[in-house]
Amino acid sequence: MLPLTSLTIVLSLLVVGSPVSSIPLNTQKTVVSLVTKFKAGGVTNVVAGDRTRAHVLYRAAISGKHDANASITNVPPIGYTIQVGFGNPMKHYGLLVDTASGNTWIGADQEYTKTNTSTGTGNTVSVSYGSANFSGEEYLDTITLGSLSISNQSIGVANKYKGFEGVDGVLGIGPVNLTKGTVSNTDTVPTIMDNLFSQDSIDSEILGVYFVPVSEEDATGTLTFGGWNSSLMTSDITYVPITNTSPACTYWGINQSINYGDSNLLSSVSGIVDTATVLILIESDAFKTYQSATGATLDETTGLLKITPDQYSSLKPLIFTIGGTAFTLTPNAQIWPRSMNSVIGDTSGNSDNIYLIVADIGNKTTFGFVSGYTFLERFYSIFDTTNQRVGFATTAYTESTSN
């Protein structure tokens, strides 16, 4: 059930769509508007952006440095954003929700406005996201999330950034160790989740994440700070501990097995769950098996696997076994929303083209998998720092056919 000291925030989705319709909740909520814009200049290859991000996250974990020394490719076409208040008097900024970063920063599309609660520390801050980066100065400021207020939160204020068109910055909700090496003269800095807990705003350092698929008319979502919302679930929660395997253990890393129908793709391999990755990335050998089993061809324009209508009708379930429970992507859940093909670089304008959301991670010296939001939007996820575990449950959208 939802703890009394938790707060649910309704997210907006960075995607062209219809006006937001509110989701009935039994908890206090803050509703924000749907953002109706994409990355400036469009997207040429979402696979390249996701793959670069995965490799940079891997190298950062191995080196223990999460600063901005990385090459830039392109950025994801869609991301979930949340309206966050900064300062006093308060000003709101739209931030990308990122479970693979611990730093919160602003100053991209909208410049940071200093207020009565803004204090410069004199330190510099820089972070790489693989497909984007930023650098700037560290400030301490008050952050407001609905009715919750965090005082003296470390934030980055960008003076240089790349790859964040359409958002004002990032809300880092990853583990605190991901801030290591990002701020000068500092080892790590408390994340917003750390400070919510230490300042007694929440009883447990737990975050519930709920994404409505981007193809739905009411595509939005919620973050629940301090707990979760069981009314959005259609099953019990399955928990799995954070993996002990390096470097996935640096992030929200778990062990899982993946099967396509009766074909095993991956057995008890470690990887990460990441809200700011778009696709589901898997090891090269597993990807080749999946491609062969589906009969898909690699589309050079989008970088995605493409299938025919007949192949789509023959798709088998893609099964993720996590903590002994099978979480299944139906055939419809394995394809990119056909009405949004132009977002991934399909210039034909043909919504009948069918692309798969499973891609090659590209390099065996990386994670076994990265489950991005195309996986997470089909399930409710819980990121539990207090108990060092991740939880999953099915939702009303697990078997949606809106793609």
Q: Cβ(240)–Cβ(254) under 8 Å? A: yes
Query: Rounded CA gap, 200 and 19, in Å?
Result: 35
Query: Rounded CA gap, 70 and 52, in Å?
Result: 9
**Which of these, 134, 141, 187, 127, lies nearest to 158 by C-alpha position?**
134
Q: Cβ(397)–Cβ(377) under 8 Å? A: yes
- Range 293-298, long-range pairs (CB < 8 A, 24+ positions): 293/260, 293/261, 293/263, 294/260, 294/356, 296/356
Query: Rounded CA gap, 74 and 50, in Å?
Result: 9
The 3-state DSSP class for residue 263 equals: strand
- Range 137-142, long-range pairs (CB < 8 A, 24+ positions): 138/183, 138/184, 138/186, 138/189, 139/112, 139/114, 141/86, 141/87, 141/115, 141/117, 142/86, 142/87, 142/88, 142/90, 142/117
| Catalytic residue IDs | 98, 274
For residue 40, the tally of other CB atoms under 10 A from its CB is: 9
Tell how far CA 261 is from the center of its chain: 26
